[in-house]
Chains A and B, each alone.
Chain A
Amino acid sequence: MSRQSNRTTDSKKMNSELFTLTYGALVTQLCKDYENDEEVNKQLDKMGYNIGVRLIEDFLARSSVGRCHDFRETADVIAKVAFKMYLGVTPSVTNWSPAGDEFSLILESNPLVDFVELPDNHNNLVYSNLLCGALRGALEMVQMAVDVRFAQDTLRGDSVTEIRMKFIKRIEENLPAGDE
């Protein structure tokens, strides 16, 4: 009896559903625990941040990406390597600001929202906010302070999912962030 996992596409797909379903169960639980959507968004962001600070190590260990020299390179690595590695999708990088410090990631499909519909009483819920926290946490660990938010969301009726990332500053000191 082989102990290797069955690496067919079915198996990969199943794992993605495990993640998607677990994420759904998490959001459902948070909605029950907190009275309003803003609070849930905040919790998702915090949890995403905690995941991001660990995920970056996994990412750097598994990809052979070196230090990025500028924000444009960072954007490319996030879209073409990180998103592909973890979510199996490659967003496009567009809408650069003139100063080159802000860009958008456009996702045709968001794996987190398979099977998901937002009920009417959760209009302010940013369902995939975990992604924003994760990106923020991961980049903070490589000395970049960024602001990440959803500009468009297919769950709210938009045609694509758009994540807007803005570079704030380079973090000079290596102090651990006290966000826990």
Chain B
Amino acid sequence: MADDSLFEFLHMEIVSHVYKEQESRGDNDKERGTCVSLLECMGFRVGQGLIERFTKDSPGFKDELDVMKFLCKDFWTNIFRKQIDNLRTNHQGTYVLQDNRFALITQLSSGQQYLEDAPKYLAFSCGLLRGALSNLGLESVVTAEVSLMPACKFQVVIQKA
């Protein structure tokens, strides 16, 4: 049973490693995007695995909103030890999940400093959400934005088949 902080340390090191690797292979604006998608893909795989383990004994979800509420409460609590603070939706497939103290960026700053570096630390979590949704039968596009650390917003757009 691994301690919570271990994941945070590992995540920090993974982000650092991915960017160092990209740097050593030559700096290229086009390449910078691949670091984020690499991290997002890793998160995706982990999210898929986690949601399977987590929901194997629970009954099915009533609807999309139910799924999102589950992700905001139980899923988020189990991973980041707190719930999503605010969930908004337009009831047409777009959801905004707001976390006022996102665990993976609280140590970076509490304001505007390092704002441009914050997305690196959000990519994995976007993947987590996308992976979890994917294994619950919902294809989505997940993006994150930060305007004031450590609060951040994840935007989930469910793709209609």
Contacts and interface: CB of A to CB of B under 8 A. Distances in A.
B3 A14 contact: no
Interface stretch (A16-24, A94-102, A153-161, A171-179): A16-24
Nearest to B14: A26
A130 B11 CA distance: 13
Given A6-B78, A47-B13, A54-B9, A1 B2 contact: no
Interface residues of A, number: 39
Q: Interface residues of A: mostly helix, strand, loop or mixed?
A: helix
Interface string B2-25: 111111011111101100010000
A15 B8 CA distance: 11
B53 A19 contact: no
Contacts of B138: none
A105 to B, nearest CB: 17
Interface in A1-46: 1, 3-6, 10-26, 28-29, 33, 43
Given A33-B21, A43-B17, A23 B10 contact: yes
Given A6-B78, A15-B7, A25 B17 contact: no
A50 B7 contact: no
Q: Interface residues of B: mostly helix, strand, loop or mixed?
A: helix
Interface in A29-88: 29, 33, 43, 47, 50-51, 54-55, 58, 85-88
Contacts of A26: 10, 14, 42
Given A22-B14, A26-B10, A5 B81 contact: yes
Contacts, number: 98
B36 to A, nearest CB: 14
B108 interface: no
A25 B2 contact: no
A14 B83 CA distance: 15
A29 B35 CA distance: 12
A24 B47 CA distance: 12
Contacts of B82: 3-5
A91 to B, nearest CB: 15
A12 B2 CA distance: 8
Nearest to A13: B1
Nearest to A89: B1
Given A3-B83, A54-B9, A87-B2, A14 B78 contact: yes
Contact of B2 (A4, A5, A15): A15
B2 to A, nearest CB: 4
A109 to B, nearest CB: 11
A85 B83 contact: no
Nearest to B73: A1
Nearest to A46: B17
A16 B43 CA distance: 15
Interface of B: 1-7, 9-14, 16-17, 21, 38, 42-43, 45-46, 49-50, 53-54, 77-79, 81-83, 124
15 contacts: A13-B1, A15-B7, A17-B50, A21-B45, A24-B46, A29-B38, A47-B14, A51-B12, A54-B9, A55-B9, A58-B5, A85-B3, A86-B5, A86-B6, A88-B2
